[in-house]
Structure 1
């Protein structure tokens, strides 16, 4: 049988203050991908190619991230969930499965709470979104200060070696081509003040972990064992406070396990989706 590539569609949705770019690939139940601070809709190339034979894969670029536009005051993560809602409505997707990494977790958690019961499955990869690690149970909170100090030291060292902290030293050393590509994708949004976005993300991390239960959806946390951006131990602490949550770590991964160890990441997500369908 001759291979036929899955159908593709690219487009835009118009928001009151910006335009959001998206791409659809494949056919089947809708599977939406929300990228992190260092990415754009193209960051999910290894996931879209894998899942498109079974799912209608929709990836998009958050406001302000290439090639989407930004309002004059810069992108505010408080608008991310409403942007996703507009995309879901314009494409008439209905209930969705949602895979989020890092910053995308802010979108995912808030969208799931905005539309309870409308998210069939939520994957939070290297992220807790708006769920506040400072409101974890005491044992994990006690670990935060030491982890943060070690993380800051590691990030400073990586900066001196021109290694992207969201990629990590292992990716840079073992998979230099992937590290290069990661940096190139990040640079597409080089005009964006990412430190301002990072500050807004931090300020909006206010929800107690148990608050996500109101979304009424199963949740899979996929932490990277070597993550220096989001504390990997936060995943288990938060999952313990939710009625329908699992944790599937990738021990060898840094902050971007979906990019660094795509086959392992895809297998975890696929097993999760198969288990709830």
Structure 2
């Protein structure tokens, strides 16, 4: 896929991988419709991208708001006239075992990490079908490949993104719209450190979890964005980002049930 002069819709553009992707796409001449729940951060990303001379529109909204998502295609068309690329990047994290996580928090995470991917895809697929070449890029996670304890909700959402993407790809095969699913490993963003945690945890345990998580976040978002962008250009169906994700993906294939025995502490990540 040649992304020069394409129009990309990108969610979660206000920070982390989303902001890095916006910058990388803009540098390649891709016009952007940027989406984020935080208007201030969204504006910062948009201003950075405009320095590359591309057309950028800002769309502050909550991707869990189905009515707002349904109205978004018309807004993007009014500004850009078409859509070639949809990148569902927005996501949140939630730590805790299944019994620790409340129903409200579980539903909150699923609404953003999975339901929003489905709603955005439903909203923009008709526009993507009108293009000679188009692509949907859905960000899953390393935890869409492996399942550590203490990540029940997050794993459920990211495995759902993986399954949805793989099945949708087969349904769209033979047409102009391709589907890529991305599995980032430990990327140095704020998603993990800003994750919700179960109520009732003492401050010491919260800090211990934070330190343990921060040790796993190593790859700069800009490097992750370049790997993802390369996968888009090559029409890759699956993109694994980071050596940690690559190693664990192979371990899971070789030992789909018992891989965790080789990784002390993964069930506490």
Same fold, TM-score > 0.5, yes or no = no
Query: Normalising by the residue count of structure 1, what TM-score does the alignment of the two structures yield?
Result: 0.40
Query: Normalising by the residue count of structure 2, what TM-score does the alignment of the two structures yield?
Result: 0.41
